[in-house]
Amino acid sequence: MRDLKIIFMGTPDFAVETLKTIIENNYDVVGVITAPDRPAGRGRKLRASAVKEYALSKNLPILQPTNLKDEKFIEDLKQLNANLNIVVAFRMLPKVVWDMPKYGTFNLHASLLPQYRGAAPINWAIINGEQKTGITTFFIDEKIDTGHIILQKEVEIQHNETAGSLHDTLMTKGASLVVDTIKAIESETVTTKIQPKEDNELNTAYKLHRDNTRVNWNSNIQTIYNLIRGLSPYPSAWSLLHNKGEEISIKIYDAEIEQQEHNFDIGKIIVEDSIIKVAVSQGYIILNKIQLPGKKAMEAKALLNGYTFYKDAKMA
């Protein structure tokens, strides 16, 4: 059995669950690398990452480099004398970092690689209407998410799954997969599988931005629904709302499908019995929770208590 000394690298809540599980399994974490504290909130006070907060609670050594190639950081890393790096939801590492430990550096990725390499695999799996996804551990190499696969676990995507609920499922299952990977490395039983270099049938988890998160109301009803739930709660789908001569940008957090024939123009908003519906091909998208500019996200019924959709109201 190998005597492992682990450095953990991660930043958000998704990574905390893995670090917590590693500690609970009594592995020796000699250091934690996380993002520098950043201004947050209205007061713009510096806020520690979720990983840093957990690491502090366990009195773990912490490094917060702004530059992963900085000579002092590299020297501090060497002084920790680790022989295994574990990466969960962190930045792309330079070779000098990932090639340093004797037993390598492995990463947890929230998809079944080689599918959905990239920045937003959870979101894109839902947006594209997949019925399954999963998590993968793999050894890091020079490119993004292309290293040799160690372990994978498949997870079903429910018909009403959101990015938020799938995130939480993969976070928990991913933590368990990381521990299984550590055990394989510790016992010298680890085996790997090479990923294909090029494949035209692979989906990519592109970075999310304003252009690819906007609802196209001319799309089919299922495509629109998948986009909304694939972007909920973050960063959220959005649309322009035209209402009595005013044009505003709204965010959509929760919706459902009503398949029914109608003669309304695409994008037409219909309000009836405290329900907000948008006419699309093949039926309606019911808006259960939306956010107006400068306001908090609200359920449809509560929103209608203080906001009026006029007869010309339309999504665009």
Q: What is the DSSP annotation of 53-91?
A: HHHHHTT--EE--S-TT-HHHHHHHHHT--SEEEEES-P
Which amino acid is present at 234?
Answer: Y
Q: Which of 75, 135, 82 is nearest to 107 (CA)?
A: 135
* Residue spans of alpha helices (H) in the chain: 13-24, 50-57, 71-79, 95-98, 121-127, 163-186, 221-230, 300-304
Cβ neighbours for 170, distance < 8 A, ≥ 6 positions apart: 14, 110, 122, 133, 134, 135, 155
165 in a known ligand binding site: no
166 in a known ligand binding site: no
Contact 108, 138 (CB under 8 A): no
Cβ neighbours for 206, distance < 8 A, ≥ 6 positions apart: 118, 119, 120, 124, 212
β-sheet bridge partners, residue 239? 250
Backbone dihedral region for residue 72 (phi beyond 0: left; psi -120 to 50: alpha; all else: beta)? alpha
The Cα–Cα gap between 240 and 249 comes to: 5
113 in a known ligand binding site: yes
293 in a known ligand binding site: no
β-sheet bridge partners, residue 7? 31, 85
Angle at the Cα of 123 from the Cα atoms of 41 and 94, rounded to 5 degrees: 75
The Cα–Cα gap between 62 and 272 comes to: 55
Instruction: Kindly state the helix (H) or strand (E) to which residue 149 belongs, with its residue range.
Output: strand 149-156
Known binding-site residues equal: 111-114
**Known binding site for (6S)-5,6,7,8-tetrahydrofolate: residues?**
111-114
